[in-house]
Structure 1
Amino acid sequence: MFRPEDILYEDNHLLIVNKHCGDLVQPDPSGESALEDQIKAYIKARDGKPGEVFLGVVHRIDRPVSGAVLFAKTSKALVRLNEMIREGRIRKVYWALTEQTPDPERGELVHYILRDGRTNRSRAYDAPKGDAKQARLRYETLAAATHYTLVAVELLTGRHHQIRAQLAKIGCPIRGDLKYGARRSVEGGGISLHSRRVEFEHPVRRESLSVTAPVPAGDNLWAFFEKL
C-alpha cells in the first residue's frame, strides 16, 4: 500500500514513488487496489481537490518488483514523458540480486523475447523466433557475496519481464523469482529486482533529474549490498 513517505520526488508536473513488492501500479482484472488509485485519493485529500485528480502512468514495473515508478500530474507532462519513453530518453537503472555472477561481469545482452499470455511468462531466445521482439540491456556486476551477486541493469528496451527473462537466460536467475528458475522464494513473495534510479530531463522545466529509490526496508540482504 502507498504511504506518503514513499514519495521520492514531486512537483506540479511529476510524481515519483518508491513502490513496494506486491503492489500493483495500475488496476487489473483482479479488482485489487492499485498505486494509481491510492495516490489519486491521497492527492485529492491532501490538496482538498473538489474534482477528479489527474495522474498518468508513465511506465509500469512488475508486481513482485520494487522501486521507482514515474507518474505525470498534468496532461502536458504525460504527453512529453510518453514521447521520451518511446525515444529512449528516460534512463532506467535496476538493481538485481542474482543467484550466480554473470560471465563476463559486464556487457550488453541482446535476445528475442516471446511472451506466453497463458502462463504470463516470457522466454528469451538467442535468435529471432516468430513474433519475438528484440530485447536489449546493459549490465554491470557491482558486488558479490557468498550466495548472491548485485548486478546493475540499464534497460535499453521495455519488453515483458525482460530483465527477469534475460538474466535467467544467461544462468543468473533473480533471487526469489521462482517463475524464472530461482531456487527458493523470498519472504513476502517478492523478487530481488529493484527499480533503483530514473534519470531524465524534466519535461517542462528542461532541467536534469536523477531520482534514486532506497532498497526495500527490512530485507537484510538488500541492506548489506546497499552499504557496500
Structure 2
Amino acid sequence: MDSGNEETTQEELFEHYKFVAAKGQEPLRVDKFLMNFIENATRNKIQQAAKQGQIWVNGATVKQNYKVKSGDEVKVMFEHPPYEFLLTAEDIPLDVVYEDGFLLVVNKPAGMVVHPGHGNYSGTLINALVHHFENLPKNSNDRPGLVHRIDKDTSGLLVIAKTETAMTHLANQFFEKTSEREYVALVWGNVEENEGTIEGNIGRNPKNRLQMMVFPDDGQGKEAVTHYKVIERFGYVTLVSCKLETGRTHQIRVHMKHIGHTLFNDERYGGDKILKGTTFTKYKQFVENAFKILPRQALHAKTLGFQHPETGKFLRFDSEMPKDMTACREKWRNYAKHNS
C-alpha cells in the first residue's frame, strides 16, 4: 500500500475539529473550551485525546489544562469507528406515514438522531433505514436516503428518497424553497403579534460552536426566514406555528429566541430555565413538573409538503403532536384557566 492510501485510511479513523478562539475569549482550560464547541464530546474523551497528544494549539500539542486565549487556533482529533461501521443496519422500528417506489415519509420520534456522528454511532434513523431498505441513494454527504434532517430532540416528519432521481428532485425542492414545512412550538412569553415574519442571517456562534445565532450583519451567516402564527396563548408561554422559508440548522430555535421567545425547555438556548412568570414556589414547582413531562425542546415538525418526483402531484402530510407535547400543552392550558 502506498503512503497516500495509508494516510487516507488513517484519516478515516479520526474526526477532526478546528476552532479559532473568538476575540475577547477569557482564558479557559482547553478541555472546557472544547466541550462548548463539540456536541456529545465528554470531558473524559477530550482528556483522552490530550493524553494521546491529539490536541494542538497554534500547531503545538498541549495538555488538558492549557488555557485557551483570544486568537488561539485549537485542533483536536478523536478516534472513531470506520465509516462502514457507522452505516450498520439495525432493526429499529420506523413510523412510516407514506411509502411508494420512489420515497417514504417517516414520523421521527424525539430522542432519535437522524444520522451517525460523534457520540451517536448507533440507534440513528440512518441505521434503521439501512436495515429496512436496500440500495438507498446517497446524498452529497454519503448519507443514504437523507434529503433533509431535524434535530435529535425535535419530533416529526421527514421525507426519504428511495431512488437517485427522487433524491435529486426532492433536494432541489428544498434548495429552491418550494417544499412546505410547518412546525408547532411552545415558546416562553406571550407573543404579542398574532403573526409575523422573522428574518436574520444564521450562523455558528463564534463563542459557542454548539449554538447558532442571528448575525446583525447580512454579510455573515446564511439567509433565514421564518413565518410564525399564534395558535394559543397561555399567559407565560405561547403555542405557535412556524413555517420555514429556509432550512438552517436550529432555525426556529434561534429565530424565536432572537425575538425574545426561547423554546420551552430548550436546554441549548436557555429555555430550560424559568424565563417568564412569577417567583412563587408553587409556580416554580409547576414549571419543573412541566419540564419533566416534556424533557426536550417543545418543537414538532407537524406538516410536510412537496411535489412527487415522479407524478408531479403535490403531496402534503400532517402529523399529530406527540404525547409529551400534548400533555405539556394541557398542563399550561389548565394553569392559564385557573390563574387568569
Instruction: Give me the TM-score of the superposition, normalised by structure 1.
Output: 0.85
Q: How does 1:38-57 map to 2 (within 5 A)?
A: 38-43=128-133, 52-54=135-137, 55-57=144-146
Aligned to 2:305: 199
Question: 1:42 is matched by which residue type in structure 2?
Answer: H
RMSD over aligned Cα, in angstroms?
2.3
Aligned position for 1:135: 224
- 1:70 is displaced (CA, Å) by 1.1
Shift of 1:29: 2.1
Q: Partner residue of 1:221?
A: 328
Count of residues in Structure 1 that have an aligned counterpart in Structure 2: 216
Where do residues 148-159 of structure 1 align in structure 2 (5 Å cutoff)? 148-159=237-248
Matched position secondary structure for 2:224: strand
Task: Give the distance between the partners of 2:122 and 2:108, measured in 1 at CA.
Answer: 16
- Counterpart of 1:210 in structure 2 is 316
| Secondary structure of residue in 2 paired with 1:57 | coil
TM-superposed CA distance for 1:221, in Å, is 2.3
Moved more, 103-112 or 130-139: 130-139
Tell me which residue corresponds to 2:233.
Answer: 144
In structure 2, the CA distance between the partners of 1:53 and 1:138, relative to structure 1 (3 Å rule), is: closer
Q: Counterpart of 1:134 in 2: which secondary structure? A: coil
* Percent identity (aligned): 28
Deviation at 1:53, TM superposition (A): 4.5
Structure 1 contact 9–15 (Cα < 8 Å) conserved: yes
Contact 2:189/2:236 (<8 A) preserved? yes
Cα distance, 1:43 vs. partner?
Answer: 3.4
- Structure whose alpha-carbon radius of gyration is higher: 2
Which of 157, 160, 163 is 1:68 aligned to?
157
Shift of the alpha carbon at 1:209? Answer: 0.5
Superposition pairs of residues 165-180 of structure 1, within 5 angstroms: 165-180=254-269
The one-letter code sitting in structure 2 at the alignment partner of 1:23 is M
Q: Where do 5+ consecutive residues of structure 2 fail to align? A: 1-90, 138-143, 275-287, 333-340
Q: For structure 1, list consecutive stretches of 5 or more residues without a partner in the other structure.
A: 45-51
Question: What is the CA distance between 1:190 and its match in structure 2?
Answer: 2.1
Amino acid at match of 2:130: K
Q: Which residue of 1 aligns with 2:180?
A: 91
Whether the 8 Å contact between 1:136 and 1:157 is mirrored in structure 2 is yes
Contact 1:22/1:189 (8 A) holds in 2: no
Q: Secondary structure at the match of 1:77?
A: helix
Looking at secondary structure, tell me which structure has more strand per residue: 1
Asked if 1 retains the 8 angstrom alpha-carbon contact of 2:267 and 2:296, the reply is no
**Which deviates the most, 96-105 or 183-192?**
183-192
Higher relative contact order (CA 8 A, sep 6+): 1
Hey, what's the Cα distance between the residues in 2 that align with 1:2 and 1:67? Answer: 17
